[in-house]
Amino acid sequence: MKIVVAVKQVPEREAALRVTPDGRGIDESDVEWTMNEPDAYALEEALQLKQRAADAGLGEAEVVVLCAGPERVQSTLREALAKGADRALHVVTPESGEGSLAERGSLDVARLLAEAVKGEQPELVLTGLQSDDLGAGQTGVVMAELLGVPHATLVLQVEFAGQGGGGRRIKVRRELEDGWTQFVEMPLPALLTIQSGGNRLRYATLMGIKRARQKEMRELSAAAPAQRVDEVVRVSPPLRVKQTEMLTGAAEEIAAKLVERLRFEVKVL
Amino acid sequence: MTVAGMLAGMVGASRNLQLAEPAKFGLGERVLLAALMLGSAGLFAWRGAPIALAIWGSKKDEDLRLRPLGRRLWRFFWEVLCQAKVIRQRRLPGLAHALVYWGFLAFALVTMNDLAEGFGCDFLGHAGAFGTFYEAFAGVWALLVALAIAGLFARRFLVRPKWLGEVSPESGVIALLIFALMATYLAMLVVKQHSPAAAYLWWAHTLVLLTFLPIIPGTKHLHLLLSPLTVFLKRPEFSQLPKLEGDEDFGLVAGKDLTRIIALQAYSCVECGRCTEHCPAAATGKVLNPKEVVLGVKTFLNVHGPGSDAPLLQDGPEGGQRALSMQAAFACTTCGSCEYQCPVGVQHLPVLIGLRRGAVNTGAWEDRYGTKLFLNLEKQGNSLGMGAAERDKFIARQGFPLFDGSQEYCLWLGCMGSYDPKGREIAADFARVMQALGTSFGVLKKESCTGDPARRLGNDLLFGELAEQGLKNFAAAGVKKIVTICPHCVRTIAGDWREYGVAPEIEHHSEFMARHAPLLESLMTGEQGGSIVYHDPCYLGRYREVYDPPREVVAMAGELVEAERHRERSFCCGAGGGLAFLGEEAGERVSHGRVRELINTGAKTIGTACPFCNSMFRDALGQVGGAAPPQLLDIAQLVARRLPVLAMVSGEPRS
């Protein structure tokens, strides 16, 4: 069994982001990068599936981690290898200018990734449900369309569900709203977008890092040209909309004012 | 008795006493003696060889250097020859042991001469002045040793202190043999020269000696031969962790990772139980028993031999060695009492942390809280998992100047000083003290954890990344001198970071304030604050031997009171070794026991010098402090509350 995990490298949560002079992008010169959190959970689920497959006597599963981007993304791929992925695929895009990630939208990136996935013929493709930086939530589902496989979104857990309809089946638990979850059974091959928090992430180990050096990292060229269908007009930091108002008076008065606000302005009571 | 008096007494005695010699031996007796000596030595070698092979066959300690030779020689003199540690930590039995030891040293010459005499050679000059004197001198020692060993025998078999564990019959046999050696010698001093009695006594004495020798290997009495070497060779620093070498070294994973020093120390263990007696984990019902860990290593080597691939840690019911379990290794607060107490040079911390390194570096340790801590350190760069913006806001609120290279000191806040509410108060109060002194300082715009919890929990990858990052940050900011409120940060930066580079000079705020004591006192106003019991943090006391400066600071603020266990015997708060971040403790909480001890002094205030101790006691006082718990303040706060209030002068305007 083969599982491909598509991950994205995003700026660190604490990174100070500056808008480029042209106002259409982020200045990446002193940004520190990390693995997109939902993708980290997708990787964790893949590694646990590998273990579950071995425990259930379903044979040795291979976890292949995939990322598109310039050279910097190799640190994220190495991290994935250190945590236990078996090998890595790096779809190389230029640092900047034509063909770079900045010039590509979700559809474009999904094309690059889908192309790489086709070469692997995996039974399962996992990826985070959205990215921490852009948060479009498109790449996974578009990839599924491009690959022609069924998909499920907002998945928390994956189980093997035996054979049926000419192949292996899985049962997934999806997160719905208001604390509800839904179980869906589906055939393989399939693509799942993974929600954060379904598992406990593992920590990186020294042994993992040392073993990762010996693991294969294959570079693929980004064959498909950038064909952006949308356009970035302007990038700006979010406007501060939070307002703080101090309620004064005796405790009872404050409580009364607070209830009034919560009931009629915030409308949560 | 004075030394001069003793000597005079011995010279006097030597006139009346002379060691009775047996009549000269014939060939038959000489052959018998030679055969017995060979037999004894052969048996000794046969029993000792596997141990020698287990030690020598273990992994070479790549980082072992004889330097600093001076310190090693001093330690040998003080701890071995003077028996200082043995006596200091257990006065009466320690002194009895020292008497036996010194007696043995005095006896070496007599014993050699005794054996040589069997073959008709008397190099000591039996009838000469020196020989006569020396034999009487040894006689005095024989008396002292006989008394001391009888006392120790009574302690072990009648008093039975629990730290000695199961009383072994073998130590009874050894005590009897030693007593017999001394008794026969003393008897030889009173019987007639060349009498048959002299011959019987000589044979009895010699046979006891030849029986004693082969018993030594394979029992804890091996310490007699090994511990002088162990004390001389032990790693120079406290809790010194060896650097991991090469691509396959992850700490103590399998038998082959045990080094010669570890093996030597394990075989030197005399099973006195001081380590366990002082262990906060063992005292509060955790699985960890440091003595059993050391003996576990010894048993492991006896069973598997050196260089084995068998895993060291065995958890679960089938594991025959519960002593070497993951549960035990991760119950250690790294307070270092065990290592500090050990009289034979065993260093427990590199073993306990080594086992953790093996478990964490290979990913074998799975712990919800531990993983969360590591991920917090990986992603947020601090142990509390807070966003860096929270620190920025705190700095701005306090008006702390940013370090720009022009100030004398970099005030290192640490995770507690940056994010913990009480830690922040301590940092702010210490900043006020510095400001009152007119010392220029600034804080770094960005700090990440020194890696202390990662280091103690055995995560070398994370620790290395944080250490490298930290060194880079200090270099970039041009920091020359650092001062901080956290002893863990001091130890980690000054000690553990050395593996990665040279850090700027760092000191703890207790040392800084003690140095400025006269000026501080001149600035103080108001009344002294009543009685204050000072709690020695492990990482300031045992780790750095800073005991007096914080006491000087406390004495400025009020009347210093000592807890029952203080200075080098201080009892841990339970936070160290990363345990502050792990889940609930099994058994009683370490902090509860300690805080009760501090309350029992009757002091009005508990003075701490470490934000982690402070945090642990804050919780413990809430639980077991009763209706009117003592006040809990850091020594910086004790000083600050007696200083006039000044507004913080910010280095630069901040939004």
Q: Which ranges constitute the DSSP H helices of B444-516?
A: 452-457, 460-477, 487-494, 509-515
Can you tell me which residue has the tokens 């997934």?
A: A172
Q: Write the pLDDT tens digit of every residue in B431-462.
A: 999 999 999 999 999 999 999 999 999 999 99
Reply yes or no on whether the pLDDT at B529 is more than 60. yes
Interface touch B361/A202, C-beta < 8 Å: no
Q: Which ranges constitute the DSSP H helices of B546-589?
A: 548-557
Cis peptide upstream of residue B518 (ω within 30 degrees of 0): no
Reply yes or no on whether the pLDDT at B653 is more than 60. no
Which of B379, B380, B449, B655 to substitute to test the interface with A, most A CBs within 10 Å? Answer: B379
Give the chain B residue nearest A11 (alpha carbons).
Answer: B379
Give the chain B residue nearest A33 (alpha carbons).
Answer: B379
Interface touch A205/B247, C-beta < 8 Å: no
Reply yes or no on whether the pLDDT at B487 is more than 80. yes
Nearest Cα of chain B lies from the Cα of A204 at a distance, in angstroms, of: 8
Residue from the list A204, A208, A210 with its beta carbon closest to the beta carbon of B378: A204
Q: Which residues of A23-57 are buried (b: 16+ CB within 10 A; e: fewer)?
A: eebeebeeeebbbbbbbbbbbbbbbbbbeebeeee
Higher pLDDT, B525 or B429: B429
- Residues in chain B closer than 8 A to A205 (CB atoms): 360-363, 459, 461
Assembly ipTM:
0.85
Task: Taking residues A143-151, report their average pLDDT.
Answer: 97
Phi and psi torsions of B350, nearest 5°: -60, -25
Reply yes or no on whether the pLDDT at B13 is more than 60. no
Interface touch B389/A14, C-beta < 8 Å: yes
Res B646: pLDDT: 66
Tell me what percent of the residues of chain A surpass a pLDDT of 90: 65
Reply yes or no on whether the pLDDT at B11 is more than 80. no
Give the chain A residue nearest B248 (alpha carbons).
Answer: A207
Give the chain B residue nearest A32 (alpha carbons).
Answer: B379
Q: Write the pLDDT tens digit of every residue in B65-94.
A: 988 899 999 999 999 999 999 998 889 999
CA triple A217-A221-A223, angle to 5 deg:
145
Q: How confident is the model at residue B2 (pLDDT cuts 50, 70, 90)?
A: low
Give the chain B residue nearest A40 (alpha carbons).
Answer: B375
- Whether B171 and chain A come into contact, CB under 8 Å, resolves to no
Domains assigned to chain B: 3-231 (1.20.950), 238-361 (1.10.1060), 381-515 (3.40.50), 525-640 (3.40.50)
Reply yes or no on whether the pLDDT at A50 is more than 80. yes
Q: Which ranges constitute the DSSP H helices of B18-128?
A: 27-56, 69-75, 84-89, 91-118
DSSP 3-state assignment of A248?
Answer: coil
Q: Which two tokens stand for residue B75?
A: 């330690």
Beta carbons within 8 Å of B52's beta carbon, 6+ residues apart: none
Q: How confident is the model at residue B213 (pLDDT cuts 50, 70, 90)?
A: very high
List, as ranges, residues 233-262 from B with C-beta within 8 Å of A. Answer: 244, 247, 250
Reply yes or no on whether the pLDDT at B321 is more than 60. no
- Whether B612 and chain A come into contact, CB under 8 Å, resolves to no
Res B644: pLDDT: 82
Which of A205, A211, A214 to substitute to test the interface with B, most B CBs within 10 Å? Answer: A205
Q: Write the pLDDT tens digit of every residue in B164-206.
A: 777 788 889 999 999 999 999 999 988 888 888 999 999 999 9
The whole-angstrom separation of Cα B48 and Cα A146 is 73
Specify whether the CB–CB gap between B18 and B189 falls below 8 A: yes
Residue from the list B361, B379, B387 with its beta carbon closest to the beta carbon of A206: B361
Reply yes or no on whether the pLDDT at B320 is more than 70. no
Task: Taking residues A181-206, report their average pLDDT.
Answer: 94
- Whether A14 and chain B come into contact, CB under 8 Å, resolves to yes
**β-bridge mates for residue A2, sequence order:** A62
Q: Write the pLDDT tens digit of every residue in B602-643.
A: 999 999 999 999 999 999 999 998 889 999 999 999 999 998
Res A47: pLDDT: 96
Task: Taking residues B138-145, report their average pLDDT.
Answer: 94
Name the burial class of residue A120, with classes exposed (0-12), middle (13-18) and buried (19+) by CB atoms within 10 angstroms of its CB. Answer: middle
CA triple A98-A103-A104, angle to 5 deg:
125
Nearest Cα of chain B lies from the Cα of A13 at a distance, in angstroms, of: 8
Tell me what percent of the residues of chain A surpass a pLDDT of 70: 100
Q: So where are chain A's domains? A: 2-236
Res B650: pLDDT: 47
Please provide the average confidence, as pLDDT, over all residues in chain B: 91
Specify the fold of A2-236: Rossmann fold (3.40.50)
Q: Write the pLDDT tens digit of every residue in A7-40.
A: 999 998 877 788 999 888 888 888 889 999 999 9
Task: Taking residues B323-342, report their average pLDDT.
Answer: 94
Res B231: pLDDT: 96
- Whether B389 and chain A come into contact, CB under 8 Å, resolves to yes
Q: How confident is the model at residue B647 (pLDDT cuts 50, 70, 90)?
A: low
Upper half-sphere CA count for residue B38 (Cβ side, 13 Å): 6
Reply yes or no on whether the pLDDT at A251 is more than 90. yes
Q: Which two tokens stand for residue A214?
A: 């010996």
Specify whether the CB–CB gap between A114 and A149 falls below 8 A: no
Which of B243, B247, B446 to substitute to test the interface with A, most A CBs within 10 Å? Answer: B247
Nearest Cα of chain B lies from the Cα of A16 at a distance, in angstroms, of: 10
Task: Taking residues B321-330, report their average pLDDT.
Answer: 84
Specify whether the CB–CB gap between B540 and B509 falls below 8 A: no
Interface touch B363/A207, C-beta < 8 Å: yes
Res B652: pLDDT: 40
Interface touch B387/A207, C-beta < 8 Å: no
Residue from the list B247, B388, B459 with its beta carbon closest to the beta carbon of A14: B388
Interface touch B389/A13, C-beta < 8 Å: no
Reply yes or no on whether the pLDDT at B654 is more than 50. no
Upper half-sphere CA count for residue A250 (Cβ side, 13 Å): 2
